[in-house]
């Protein structure tokens, strides 16, 4: 799915779609459970930087 999104962004911007784009995760992948009211208070955008 990540490759599909990356390729569609290249295509949508009118750029040449590379034969092998790197779509690896950046950093550790720790998904949180999606649910309503699953937010955390006090989280700032700077807390998410790699």
pLDDT tens-place string over residues 13-50: 999 988 888 888 878 888 777 777 777 888 888 888 77
The model's pTM is 0.48
Residue 31 tokens read as 């998904």
* pLDDT the model gives residue 23: 83
* pLDDT the model gives residue 13: 95
**Cα angle value 17/29/8 (rounded, 5°):** 20
- Three-class secondary structure of residue 9 per DSSP: helix
């Amino acid at each position: 799915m990540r490759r599909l999104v990356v390729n569609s962004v290249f295509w949508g911007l009118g750029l040449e779609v590379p034969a092998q784009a790197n779509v690896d995760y950046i950093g550790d992948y720790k998904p949180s459970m999606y649910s309503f009211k699953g937010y955390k208070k006090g989280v700032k955008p700077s807390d998410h930087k790699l």
